[in-house]
Each structure stands twice: as structure tokens, then as C-alpha cells.
Structure 1
Amino acid sequence: MKSVELFAGAGGLGLGVGGAGFEHAAVVEIDRWACDTLAENTKWPLHGWDKGDVRKFDYTPLKGTVNLVTGGPPCQPFSMGGRHRAFLDPRDMFPEAARAVRELRPKAFIFENVKGLRRQAFSNYLEYIRLRLRHPDLTPREGEEWLTHLKRLEDYETSGANGGLLYNVVIRLLNAADYGVPQKRERVFIVGIRDDLAAAFHFPDATHSYDALMWSKWRSGEYWKRHGIAPVPNAREQSRAARLKVKPAELPWRTVRDALHDLPDPEFHPAVASKFADHRFISGARSYPGHTGSPLDEPAKTLKAGVHGVPGGENMLRRPDGTVRYFSERESARLQTFPDDFRFHGSWTETMRQLGNAVPVELAKVVAKAVREQIERTHEKSDSLQSLGQAAPGRKRSKRAIATGAGESAS
């Protein structure tokens, strides 16, 4: 199955989508360092740097060949650490995501963004994003403000019209830790399934849990035995574990120690650490209120890119004795579940920006696999209908849809 990846960044989402069985027909990214990273590590058909502006990208050669469109439109307009300008921010690329869906007409799409997209201040705009992706044919008129376009989309959604390209769209906030990523990273996923596909879609169930980690630490003791160390006292965790009546069915959340157990500490063992790519000690880490680092025996805090450099608290390791240091590039890549042979281009700050903006590879794979299974079930349904001489489900464009404005050309 073919896919198109927009706003690819360092490739976390793309690697996950590829791992789920999709083949990239085009990968689009404008950032120079991210493009260098992708060029070294992948053989994807990269449209990068000067050719990576999605606003100018021509989808014509790909029409009719793409099953899935994916991407992470720039998150700074919605980030908790940004300026919160949303639709007023020129970096808002959700309109371009809608254009890609309209022109490529894929069977499905996956877009992801930061947790801040769900803030109350952006609720109307999130609904606007949903409706634009649900009805990609209903495009803005020349000079039309987004709120006016939202009203037209709402009218069309509630009018009973049944024409034009239509996607069933679901939005969910997922915590990467719940899917085996050693990081408490919450991301908004927007998944759309084309309406003529038969099977229903829902997001995958969580496979890991915090309570399972508590059981592993303080009821069975398996966590400490596995790492060959004595338990590190934690009154808060022990109190929670004591309230658990039965062993949770999920696997335990993975911790920083789980992810980094076989990497030498670059501060104390620099010579050994240098044998691992991109694994070196970075000085200058310090702890202060609100920036205390990621405890070794918990999933990491969310790695962040930062508006003005790397935020120390989120990108630091905190040892049981309270000392802190920055995560190395390799450690950060582990926390984002990139493979160890994946090399990043640019300075440490630039690499951390790429990693802080990335989707964890394993989380992307889980979501993309669920979407692929949905498409495959639809193929089976379609084949079955054809064998019975029936037409596969589809939608016809009604006169009412035409009058409402679906299918207008983009401004």
C-alpha cells in the first residue's frame, strides 16, 4: 500500500507507518537538517528543503495511487510552549493537510499534533479542522475567513447533504507510555477513513499501564529483579501499589532505566560511551522548581524541542540520588523508539529539536497498523461483494450537495 508523508521531520511517523507495511510514494519536508537526517537514514522518495514546501507541492503524478496520507503539521501554533496563535500563525499547515486529502483522495489519513490542540481556547478551530478533513471538497471561497467557512461546513454537515468526498474522522489523545514507549508523551491523533469503506475503526486499546508498573515494582518485585538492583523507595508509588487488588492485565509502562539499561553513562564512562553513536555527555544541566528531570525508574517526561533552545527539565535524566544530566542524543532517540542505527544531523540542540518534534516510532506504528487493518478488511468486503455481483459501498453527489457548495475549487 502506498502512502504520502507530509511534514516528515526526522521521520518518526514515517518510520512507524513504514513499519506497519506502507510504502512511501513521497515524503515532503522543508527543514534542512531534518532532510539531511532523512537522506542519510532512508531510501524514501524525499522531496526536501527547497522542494519541500507543501504549499507548492504538486500531487498530480500521485493521484489514484495513494492509500494513506500522513503527517504532523507544524505544532508551534498549538504547543503549550509556543505562542498559542493557532490559525493566526502562518505556520498553521492544517489547510495544506486538507488540500492533500482533497487532491489525493486516499482511503485513509493520519495526522498528529500536540496535546495543546485540544485546549479550550482552540476548540472551535479543532472542530474546523475536523470538518475540513471530513468534507475536503468543501473548500474556502476566495477571501473567506475561517469562521465563515466553519459556518458553511456546519450547515453542510447538518443539512443531510450526501455528496462529495467524505471521511469519517475520529480524534483521540494518546499517551505513548500506554503503548510501550518509555516516555509520557501525549499526542493528538486525527484519523480519517473514507466513507465508502465498509468496516468501522477505533483506536487500538492500550497495551501498557502505570498500575502494571506499580505491581511490577512493589507487589511482585519483578522490575527490580530484572535490573539486578535493590528497590528505590518511593512512598507515593508504594501507596498506590498497596491499593491494587489484582494484577493488571496490561504490560508495565517502560521506564527510562528499561530503555537505557545497556547504554553506559556518558558522564562517568565517556570512553565506553563513545563507542555508541551520538552518545556523549552534555554539561550544564541543572535542576530547579518545575525543571527536575525525568526519574530513572519512570517513563521519561515529554521530550521537547523548545522555543528558545532545549528545555532542561524535560530533557534531563534524574538519578535516584537527585543528580541530573542532559540526555544524550542516542538516549533521547531511544526514548522516542528510533532504531540505534538512525543518525541525526546537526548540532546537539538541532538534533534535540528534531527529536522533540518527532512522533515516537512505536506509537506511530501501532496507529498505522490499525488503519492498515481497516483498509485490508475493506478490501475483503469489497471482494466479497463483487463475487456476489453487488457494487461496493459508495456515495453519489446530490443536487443538494452541489447547491451547498461541495466540490468548489480551492481559492
Structure 2
Amino acid sequence: MKTVSLFSGCGGMDIGASSAGAEVIYASDILNEAAATYREQFPEVDFVHGDIKKIDSWPAADLIVGGYPCQSFSMGGRRKPEDDRRTQLYNDFARAVDTVNPKFFVAENVSGLKSVQGGHWLREQLDLFSGLGKLGGYNLSYSLLKAEDYGVPQKRRRLFIVGVRRDQGAFYDFPRPTHAKATDASRLGLLPFASHGDAIAHLPKWPSGEFYERPHDPEGHWSWYYMSRNRKARWDDPGFTVVANWRHTTLHPASPIMTMTWSNLADGFKQRWDFQHGEYEHLLGHEDRMHLEEPRRLSWREAAAIQTFPADFVPSGTTERKFEQVGNAVPPRLAEAVLKSLVSGSGLTDRRAESHPASKTTDEIPVLF
């Protein structure tokens, strides 16, 4: 399946697409470091480094994929899309779909797209996407997926919109989860959630230069803001969401535990969490696991492993830019899960998604168009 990739970043979506059986023939992104990384990962792909607003032609393709910028919809951001010029970049994704007229497209964005301003921006995009192309528009399905449900060792929620050109006579059904909480997995016939501690256990214990440190700050490594919440996920659980800001990256699961020492949420102030040095929950019954005497943030290499990038993946740029690329990426394993049944055709049906059991196993919204 010939595939055009837009807003490609360092290639997370495209690694997943390739694993699903698609052939990426064209990609583009505006960021310098992401462009360098992508070209290193996919030397055979025609990559265009530049502003998508200045691109007006793309090769013929069966599929277009892309995660247009999401900062204006992110629950961790200002959530004022009307004040952010990046908000309108979905129009350029739509322009490419309208021009190329592929059989299918897959768009990815943050969960906030569904909730910010009552879902206004999501409805606007659905209205636009449904009428694209030259053969009667697209049948749309969309779903809020949890990455951990598909074997990603990370709690990450992302919204996917899948379009199937109407002349194909089908709708897309999102894949059923393959993983669940350990207490429920056996009963449901699924695998237990992947451990983020196990995913990074083979990496160096203290990879100096690969994570954020504050050696010259009077507050030490840990700002008051960082200590305002629990930053340590349990070793055996999926990790917290991998973010694009290296200062806010969460803790290595071999760090000492954090406990809340005070809370003053009543007047809008945050909590205070502190390290309990010498105390480790992950060593109970597993004394052979590594432990860190001093806590540290995850390294970029560990963040990439938790995102399910391949072991030989090395992004370009400074350590800060490496984190930015890794955190902004679609987890390859999640992308593969979404795209595999689309590429093979097993996820296509001539019935509306709400009539399928699969739609009841995710936070899926029924097909609207």
C-alpha cells in the first residue's frame, strides 16, 4: 500500500506503518532535527524538509497518514486553539487528502481534541474530512485509544480518525485491545499490560548526558513544580506518558519511591511529594532488579524504548531535541495496531462501527458519516 506521510516527525507513525505492511514513499516535516532523524531512518523515502503550506503536490498513494501538531489541544498546554496558528494545520492535511484522493487516510492527535471547547475542533475536522476527494467523500471512524491496550509500556491516550473513501463501500473498525490489567487479562483472554521497567531494564544504570540534570541550580535537580506530583510509575506498570519536554520527563522506575508530604489543593495550590530514599517498591520479590540510590529522570534512550522505537533508533540533535522528537512521536506499536487491519483489509466492514463488538472494547465514538 503506497503511503504518503505528513507531519512525519522522527518517523514513529511510519515505523508502525512499515511494520503493518505499508510502503512509505513520501514524507515531510518542517523541523530540522526531525528531518535529519527521518532521513537516517528511512533513506529510501522521498523526504521534503519544509513548511507544508508551501507544498502543493504529492505522489499518487493509497494511504495518507499524519499527526498534525497537537499543542493547542493538549491537556498539558494552554488549550486556546484560536490563539495558536498551528491549530489550522489540519487544513493542510485535508488539502493533501483532497489532492491525492487516496483510498484511506489516518490522522492522529491528542485526546484533548475531543474535549477542548466541547469538541468544537473535532467536529469541524470531521465535517471537513468527510467531504474530501473526488469520489463522494470519506466514511469516517474515530476512537480515543489507550496505548497500553495494545502492548505499549506507557499510559498514553490518543485520538485517531480513519477515513475510507466511499467508493470502497466500507467503514473501518478499530482493533480490539490485546492487553489489560494483570488482574483482568486472564479472564478476558488478553495479555497483561507491558512493564515499562522491564522495557528499559537492559539499558545503562546511569547514562550521564542522556537525561536532564540541574547541577548548578540552588534548588538542586528537582524544582518545586517537578515535586508537585508523583513522577514515579510502578516498575511493573506501563509508564506515565512520555512527554516532549526533557525537564518534565518522569522518573526511572528504579528510583526511590515518592510520597505526598502535604497537599493544599483547596486554594488552588499543588501538592508536595518527596523522595523516600532507600525505599523501593519494585524490589519486593525481585531483589535482582537494579535500584538507584539517587533518583533520576528517564534518559532519552529509555523514553524511546517506552515509546516502542526499535533498539537501534538514535534521533539527531542535542539531548533536549532528542526528547522533543521522541515525546512528539506516535508510538510505533500503536500505529502498527491501527494500520495493520487497514492495510490487510481485515478491519474494513460494510456495516457501521457501532454494530460491531469491537467498538465496545474501546472509547470509540460511533461512525458519524
Name the CA shift for 1:215/1:111 in 2 (closer, same or farther; >3 Å). closer
**Residue aligning to 2:292:** none
Counterparts of 1:189 and 1:311, CA distance in 2: 28
Q: Does 1:296 align with 2:235?
A: yes
TM-score, normalised by the number of residues in structure 1: 0.69
1:317 lines up with 2:252 in the alignment: yes
Q: Percent identity?
A: 35
The whole-number CA distance in structure 2 between the counterparts of 1:311 and 1:165 is 47
Quick one: distance in 2 between partners of 1:355 and 1:341? 14
1-structure distance, mates of 2:116, 2:67: 21
Matched, 1:283 2:278: no
Paired residues of 1:334 and 1:340 also in contact (CA < 8 A): yes
Query: How far apart, CA to CA, are the structure 2 residues paired with 1:95 and 1:182?
Result: 33
For residues 365-410 of structure 1, the C-alpha deviation after alignment (integer angstroms, 9 at most, x for no partner) is: 11111211228979xxxxxxxxxxxxxxxxxxxxxxxxxxxxxxxx
TM-score, normalised by the number of residues in structure 2: 0.76
What SS does structure 1 have at the residue aligned with 2:252? strand
Alignment deviations for residues 266-290 of structure 1 (CA, whole Å, 9 cap, x no partner)? 26xx7xxxxxxxx845434535122
Structure 2 residues not aligned, in runs of 5+: 215-220, 258-274, 276-294, 350-369
Partner of 1:148: none
Structure 1 residue ranges without an equivalent (≥5): 138-162, 217-245, 271-278, 379-411
- Give the AA of the match of 2:25: A
Q: Secondary structure at 1:168's aligned position in 2?
A: strand
User: 1:295 Cα shift?
Assistant: 2.6
Q: CA deviation at 1:109?
A: 0.3
Residue aligned with 1:110, SS = strand
The answer to whether the 8 A contact 2:79-2:116 is kept is no
Offset at residue 133 of structure 1 (A): 0.5
Flag the 1:118–1:349 CA change in 2: closer, same or farther, 3 A: same
Q: Which amino acid aligns with 1:347?
A: T
Say which SS state the counterpart of residue 288 (structure 1) adopts: helix
Deviations 1:101-159 (A, max 9, x none): 1000000000000111111415122111001010025xxxxxxxxxxxxxxxxxxxxxx
Residue pairs, 1:107-118, within 5 angstroms: 107-118=103-114
Q: Partner amino acid for 1:315?
A: T
2:321 to 350, 355, 372: 350
Alignment of 1:203-352 (within 5 A): 203-210=174-181, 213-214=182-183, 247-266=187-206, 280=210, 282-284=212-214, 285-286=221-222, 288-306=227-245, 310-312=246-248, 314-319=249-254, 321-322=256-257, 324-352=295-323
Considering fraction of residues, name the structure with more helix.
1
CA-atom RMSD in angstroms: 2.3
> What letter corresponds to residue 103 of structure 2 in structure 1?
K
Q: Which residue of 2 aligns with 1:15?
A: 15
Aligned partners of 2:156 and 2:240 also within 8 Å: yes
Q: Label 1:320 to 1:376 Cα distance change in 2 as closer, same or farther (>3 A).
A: closer
Report what 1:70 is aligned to. 65
Q: Is the 8 A contact 2:211 2:300 kept in 1?
A: no
Larger Rg: 1
Give the Cα separation in 2 of the matches to 1:29 and 1:197: 30
**1:24 alignment partner in structure 2:** 24
Partners of 2:73 and 2:116 within 8 A in 1: no
